[in-house]
Amino acid sequence: MQFTAAQIAQIINGKVEGNADVSVHTFGKIEEAQAGQLSFLANPKYEEYLYKTEASIVIINEQQELKQAVKSTLIRVQDAYMAFAGLLDAYQQMKSAQLTGIQEPSYIHSTASVGENTFIGAFAYLGENVKIGNGSKIYPGAYLGNNVTIGENTVIHPGVKIYHECVIGNHVTIHGGTIIGGDGFGFAPLPDGTLKKVPQIGNVIIENNVEIGANCTIDRATIGSTIIKSGAKLDNLLQIAHNVEVGCNTVIAAQAGISGSTKIGKNVMIGGQAGVVGHIHIADGSKINAQSGVSKSMKTPNTAVTGSPAYDYTSALRSQAALRNLPEMEKRLKELERIITELQIKP
């Protein structure tokens, strides 16, 4: 697909400087883009490439001042990063809209219902009473168990497994290899030392506008639902245990793990490889630094913690600063001891 600068400016509400008829057919990073590609400049650290790039069109901020002439056609917008992201989203949607129909071989149970303008890829499996909303895309090799519901304009990427009874909302994206609704880790110890499995009869509910990365595992509830609320964004390689609730617009980075029955508030940020114990609450707006281990509830909204066990972020920084000064403090202490000793032995 090709677009002119004038067409792109209309989509992102920008103003063209240069040849409005120049066209592009793909995207490129500003430091390596070639003719026929579209790029953008949002970070001042990359400004030098604006004057070197071969990109045919570059999106820049309204307030960007030019220090020398540029070869590219420019499109000025209020926020270059957001405009470029919006353009990528529109481009992706146009490409995705071309995918419709049912590829063979695939298995769709006679009781399943599939909406309009949907795509079912080859080797996909749709069990009994599965419901697929209008405009959704089920890519090859996906598995949807009995009574799974998929909302409208949702994308299920290759190899995703969604177990029975789970509910996925509208405008959700789930990337390859993720498993939704596997059994929670529930076992009861018996007197003889063996472990008896506790049946996990709940489900998982993914609300609207959620994105889940590749190779995540989100376990079904023992009773009730594990819930990922609207707008949450989950990175790759996450473990969300049974009966967890993740609040609206919360962001969790890769390799984090959330233990069972923990309730995470809205607009929380959890860094990579962080671990959260079970049966606690994380208040709205909390920030958990990467590799932190959270062992008790965070009750005060908009606070930050770090370390393992995690504690107040500001206090942790002061402790780290003091720790770095220990060698110098040791030298000063020894000098004070020497002075005191000399004073004691004087007549």
Q: What is the mean pLDDT of residues 229-239?
A: 98
H/E/C letters for each residue in the chain? Answer: CCEEHHHHHHHHCCEEECCCCCEECEECCCCCCCCCEEEEECCHHHHHHHCCCCCCEEEEECCCCCCCCCCCEEEEECCHHHHHHHHHHHHHHHHHHCCCEECCCCEECCCCEECCCCEECCCCEECCCCEECCCCEECCCCEECCCCEECCCCEECCCCEECCCCEECCCCEECCCCEEEECCCCEEECCCCCEEECCCCCEEEECCCCEECCCCEEECCCCCEEEECCCCEECCCCEECCCCEECCCCEECCCCEECCCCEECCCCEECCCCEECCCCEECCCCEECCCCEECCCECCCCCEEECCCCEEHHHHHHHHHHHHCHHHHHHHHHHHHHHHHHHHHCC
Query: Is residue 143 over pLDDT 90?
Result: yes
Q: Looking at residues 208-227, what average pLDDT do you find?
A: 98
Give the pLDDT mean for 309-334. Answer: 81
- The answer, yes or no, to whether residue 99 has pLDDT greater than 90, is no
Residue 283 has pLDDT above 70, yes or no: yes
Q: What is the band of 229 on the pLDDT scale with cuts at 50, 70, 90?
A: very high
Domain boundaries, given as residue ranges, for the chain: 3-97, 101-315, 316-345
Residue 19, pLDDT score: 96
What is the pLDDT at residue 311? 66
With contact defined as beta carbons under 8 Å apart, do 195 and 178 qualify? Answer: no
Residue 186 has pLDDT above 80, yes or no: yes
Quick: pLDDT tens for 12-49.
999 999 999 999 999 999 999 999 999 999 999 999 99
pLDDT for 330 equals: 86
- Strand 143-144 and strand 161-162: pairing? parallel
Average pLDDT over residues 138-149: 98
CA distance 327 to 338: 17
Superfamily of domain 3-97: MurE/MurF, N-terminal domain (3.40.1390.10)
CATH 2.160.10.10 for the 101-315 domain, yes or no: yes
Q: Tens of pLDDT along 289-316?
A: 999 999 999 999 999 999 888 768 787 7
Catalytic residues: 242
pLDDT band of 156, cuts 50, 70, 90: very high
Rounded to the nearest integer, the mean pLDDT of the chain is 94
